[in-house]
Structure 1
Amino acid sequence: MGEKVTAETKKVMTDEERLELCQKLDQELDDFINSLERKRYTEGWPEDRWEEEMDKHPFFMKSNPDATEMSPLAEGLAKLKYDPEENTPLELASSYKEDGNFNFKHKNYRLAILGYTEGIKVRCDDKEINASLYNNRAASHWHLKNYRSALFDSERALSFNPNHTKARLRAAKSALEVAKYDVCIEHCQKLLEESKDKEVVELLNTAKKKKVLQERDERKKDRMISKKNEEKEAVVKAIVERGIRISNCDDADDIDLSKLEPSLPGAHDAIVHIENGILKWPVLFLYPEYQMTDFVKACPENVPLLNQLEQLFPAPWDENNKYRCSSVNVYFEGYDKMPHVVDPSKKLSDLLVMKYFELKAGTPAFFVLPRGSKVESRFLESYL
């Protein structure tokens, strides 16, 4: 049976022994790397298992994952670099920074971000190392075009070191990329207080020009929104003035365009609107005999319903030519759940204010049936 190692018998390494071990491990690592075959690296870590794979890497692992014996290199690295009992917070943060820098140098920006993030998590009290960790992580994000993250990390770096020129310049560039032009201008102006750098001057001028364009577009957008709101209010006002009954609306104050949107698939752009004081409605014609429908967009309220039927007949599905303007009856289903016949020669506006008429889903709907036919009789009997 092997000897049990306790906290009392554990040998504490001196600074000289640690330095000697570091130099030995560095040399062994250099010799190992130099012995590798020189070829292009083509296989990256799987995106969904970066942290898992990182924990298996001797530079990052904090414990032995499978309880087997670790190599001296892996054990020494893990102990020297990551053991909180063997390292101060500053030493740990510095080690993670070095790991991040190594990956950044080799353009492994995602791995570099992981390294810098671990260093930030240490929360050491050194402002310079924290500023450096955030700045370097911002640089990694910048190369990955994660501009919002680059801006956040750059400004975090500046919170630890307001004079960090690289962090401020990257903050300005990132702000420009995410259209935060005021932020970009502010950082550029602070940079120009120290030096009239040509790159910063060009960046500042670009931000000012884009800000002018942005403000113009916002004014244009605001005008469009205001115009649409005015049009919506005009539509609602016209409906109230005409006395049209709207389903699920208790009074005039309860009417809004959301309750007037057509519920038919693909018909959302056909919502009632007003042109030159005339309401134009989407109208649905139903033919129960054939289970067919016609959907007509923008029917003017001052035009007889008959005009719309004349454009629809003869119907391609009416092989027996039964559906003609002179031989059909037109009905609507009232809020009393009964059918009501209408005179199609009347204007649509007159039909919409008939007794028992109720507008549903913003779409006037009418049933069309051959006059005196069995189909019409069955339709009427279905309401009895």
Structure 2
Amino acid sequence: MSTPAGPTPNARPSWALDAENLDAAMSEVPLFMKELPTEENDTLAALQSLVYDGTPEEIAENFKNQGNEAYGRGRAGFADAIKFYTQALDVECQDQKLNEACYANRAAVNLELQNYGKALYRSAKALFALDRLDEALDCCDHALAVDPENRAVIQERERCQKRIDLIAEKKRKEEEKKRKEKEKKEKIDKMVKERKIKFEVTDETVAKTAQIQLDEETNTLSWPVFFLYPEHKESDYIQAFNETNTFQDHLEVMFEQPAPWDAKQEYTMDNIEIYFENTTGLRPTLVKIGKKLQLGKILSLDKYTIINGVASFIILSKTSPFKEEFLGRYKK
């Protein structure tokens, strides 16, 4: 059986572009070339020659008109307008009025660009003063696009960038500080929980000012501590009493010299006793503790409660009549 005569189905004419590789095919057409070919191209040369087809006056007029069209597009076309006016002048036609028009038009565009640059520079300085640094930097970039060699704008941009970098670094350090503080607090909370230390808050203001300190080298806690002397209505405050220190460690330093309020010199290391108030029962009681005990051991006792974030201990003189009177208050 013979094959019917006629064109092959879906055959592509020899002059048609390859649809599957349209971009590549289009780039070979002179009107759509994105880059000039390195080898000779007669068609392209012919098209380029059309730009310079005619008398010098006609060519210059053509470039001038293209410059006017570019200028008419607004600031986005100013750079192209300058190029076209320059090309018109490069023709060196004999029409002086035409040349003067091109010179005048190019100067006008340059003047507008310069004023635009100055306005952007002033805007950048104003925005910098308001700490709107990203906007100031953007103004500098636009100004430099118009006048890349403008030293004042370059310096202003450097100033903006330096300020931006400084703020970014400050913010980074603040965030790092907050992160470390958060981690430290979480670690302290965990250590306190592990030690089974009990708290009671009766005064929020006082509790907020009391701070537990973490010694990261020894991985130990230091506590604010009050030593109370009820006989003389006096007290001593220790801001950071490390949990590994004994009471004797601090009291020996404190009583190395007689206290100003201890006229009878009854409060000496050999003549004092230490107590804490146990509030876990139905009524408060006093618990006597040894001077050589570590603070941490006492704070972890079931009977001990830290009130408002500060550990408190009562100091009494063994030989003072006040001692028996004071102890009697807790026996009634």
TM-score with structure 2 length normalisation?
A: 0.56
TM superposition shift of 1:312:
0.8
Residues 1:377 and 1:260: Cα distance change in structure 2 (over 3 Å): farther
* Residues 174-196 of structure 1: per-residue CA shift (max 9 Å, x gap): 33234432222122223334444
Max Rg structure:
2
* In structure 2, C-alpha distance between the alignment counterparts of 1:278 and 1:190, rounded to whole Å: 58
Equivalence for 1:181: 133
Equivalence for 1:243: 196
Equivalence for 1:261: 209
Residues 1:175 and 1:382: Cα distance change in structure 2 (over 3 Å): farther
Identity value in percent: 28
Equivalence for 1:17: none
Equivalence for 2:272: 328
* In structure 1, C-alpha distance between the alignment counterparts of 2:143 and 2:123, rounded to whole Å: 11
Matched, 1:201 2:142: no
Could you tell me whether the CA contact under 8 Å between 1:247 and 1:360 is conserved in 2?
yes
Point out where structure 2 has 5 or more consecutive residues left out of the alignment: 1-114
Specify the SS of the correspondent of 1:246.
Answer: strand
> Which of 339, 347, 351 is the equivalent residue of 2:294?
347
| Cα RMSD after superposing both structures | 2.7
**Structure 2 letter corresponding to 1:281:** W
> Which of 213, 227, 242 is the equivalent residue of 1:285?
227
Equivalence for 1:302: 244
Equivalence for 1:234: 187
Residues 1:374 and 1:355: Cα distance change in structure 2 (over 3 Å): farther
* In structure 1, C-alpha distance between the alignment counterparts of 2:188 and 2:154, rounded to whole Å: 51
* Residues 274-327 of structure 1: per-residue CA shift (max 9 Å, x gap): 332111122111111111111122221112112111111132321211012222
* In structure 2, C-alpha distance between the alignment counterparts of 1:240 and 1:287, rounded to whole Å: 30
Specify the SS of the correspondent of 1:344.
Answer: coil
Could you tell me whether the CA contact under 8 Å between 1:284 and 1:293 is conserved in 2?
yes
Equivalence for 1:152: none
Residues 1:316 and 1:259: Cα distance change in structure 2 (over 3 Å): closer
Q: Which has the higher contact order (CA 8 A, sep 6+)?
A: 2
Equivalence for 1:159: none
Point out where structure 1 has 5 or more consecutive residues left out of the alignment: 1-162, 250-257, 263-269
Q: Which moved more, 1:179-188 or 1:293-302?
A: 179-188
TM superposition shift of 1:166:
6.9
Residues 1:283 and 1:178: Cα distance change in structure 2 (over 3 Å): farther
Equivalence for 1:33: none
Equivalence for 1:357: 304
* In structure 1, C-alpha distance between the alignment counterparts of 2:132 and 2:285, rounded to whole Å: 60
Residues 1:243 and 1:167: Cα distance change in structure 2 (over 3 Å): farther
Structure with greater strand share of residues: 2
Residues 1:325 and 1:187: Cα distance change in structure 2 (over 3 Å): same
* In structure 2, C-alpha distance between the alignment counterparts of 1:362 and 1:274, rounded to whole Å: 18
Matched, 1:273 2:214: yes
Residues 1:359 and 1:272: Cα distance change in structure 2 (over 3 Å): farther
* In structure 1, C-alpha distance between the alignment counterparts of 2:220 and 2:271, rounded to whole Å: 30
Residues 1:333 and 1:170: Cα distance change in structure 2 (over 3 Å): farther
Could you tell me whether the CA contact under 8 Å between 1:231 and 1:274 is conserved in 2?
no
Could you tell me whether the CA contact under 8 Å between 1:272 and 1:362 is conserved in 2?
no
TM superposition shift of 1:382:
3.4
Equivalence for 2:22: none
Specify the SS of the correspondent of 1:350.
Answer: helix
